[in-house]
Amino acid sequence: MITFSGEHDLNTAPDLRQKLAAELEDGFAIVVDLSGAAFVDSSILGAVLDARRRAREAGVAFEVALNEGAQPVERVLDVTGLRASLPVHSTRGAAIEAARSGPAGE
Amino acid sequence: MTVQGLNLTVAARPENLAVIRQALAGYADAVGFDSDAIADLKTIVTEACMNVVVHAYPDGTAGPLEVSVEPDEHGLEISVRDQGSGFRPRPADVEDSGLRLGLPLIAALSDEFEISGGGGGTEVRVKLGYSRNGAEEESGDERHDPETAEGMVMSIAAGAFVRPVLARVIGALAARADFSVDRLSDTILIGDAVSAHDASDFRQGTVGIELSDGMGWIGVRIGPLVEGGGERIVDGLELPGGTSLSKLASDVTVKREQMEGGDAAEYVVVRIDR
């Protein structure tokens, strides 16, 4: 589980990539909770997208939680059209539930 | 140089993105942008500046990243410039789907958007406001000397917008320098006091601030000021509880420098330790 809080951009992206890579290495299902993020830029979205791709290749479940009303992140996901290409759940519980039931496939 | 809006010059480094974002959010807040418009502005500015950080300069060099904001009746015109030699492909070892999203994001969120440039640098110019009708052209900013790219150079018209911008910028720097909450509030008090100082002590009514930071410290250079302005800032800062500037700061000095045309200008130089 990777939980966001505060603002994230190119400066914190390497740290996020490292965390995501470590989770992938462990091979457990991954849940990224973006609900608490006050700001994310495209480098952060890119890190999440790349991790999602790798997880799919490795057969590891990868789910995203984003509470309704988490506006700053919702806005960028909507504008970039990424909401459709990421497995976004409106509660952390739903994301964890989906992750437990295994990789989504697609 | 008289400034209507806000000008910032920082080194094109990832850690400066948050500082720029905070400065512009503070400014937009002060001119009356609502929270949705501020959120869009933060994304636009971050994406445009990230392009400079990633593409403008050769690896290992951080040239200047210049941001200016000019208000007009419709909203804000934002310019993000570098002095690089044009678009550089991202390093081959950087795998990042996100870098392809930046320009489309800027285009989608702004009312008007253009990129210009070539050998002398690239400029991204964006308009953002409540209405879809932009106006105004050319902010006519001077370029800063690349040598100043180490710290952060900021100029803003004296008045109501200084405080919100300065508070956020100083807050972001203090957080980055790992200040305690107490020291952070001391530091913001200094920014508040500078903001409240009589505009007539600032040359051309423009508040010039140069900020620098390092491991556990922040440096603030205020000026150019008119003669005697430096002393008045140091003496006149009335901080709550009778605290003086010299008590809050580790070092306070007034420096005099000769300006072009023979006039002397004063600067107040303050160092605040963690």
pLDDT (tens digit per residue) in B189-209: 778 778 888 888 888 888 888
In this complex, how many residue pairs, one in chain A and one in chain B, have their CB atoms less than 8 Å apart? 80
d(CA B191, CA B255): 19
Q: Do B15 and A11 touch (CB under 8 A)?
A: yes
Look at the block and give the residue holding tokens 């070539």.
B118
With vertex at residue B227, the alpha carbon angle to CA B70 and CA B249, rounded to the nearest 5 degrees, is 75
CA-based nearest residue to B196, from B228, B253, B240: B240
Chain B CB within 8 Å of residue A85 CB: no
Q: What is the pLDDT of residue A44?
A: 94
Residues of chain B with Cβ-Cβ distance to A55 below 8 Å are none
Q: What is the ipTM of this complex?
A: 0.91
Q: What is the pLDDT of residue A90?
A: 94
Residues whose CB falls within 8 Å of the CB of residue B232, separated by 6 or more in sequence, listed in order: B197, B198, B201
d(CA B249, CA B268): 12
Taking the CA of residue B56 and the nearest CA in chain A, the distance in Å comes to 15
Taking the CA of residue A12 and the nearest CA in chain B, the distance in Å comes to 8
d(CA B149, CA B66): 9
Token duo for residue B219: 């440096």
Q: What is the pTM of this model?
A: 0.79
Q: What is the pLDDT of residue B2?
A: 42
Given pLDDT bands bounded at 50, 70 and 90, which one contains residue B243?
low
pLDDT tens, residue by residue, B9-42 = 999 999 999 999 999 999 998 888 888 899 999 9
Residue B130, pLDDT above cutoff 90? no
Instruction: Select the residue of B36, B54, B109 nearest A79 (Cβ to Cβ).
Output: B109
Among chain A residues, CA nearest to B16: A11
Residue predicted with more confidence, B181 or B210? B210
B110 contacts B102 by C-beta, under 8 angstroms: no
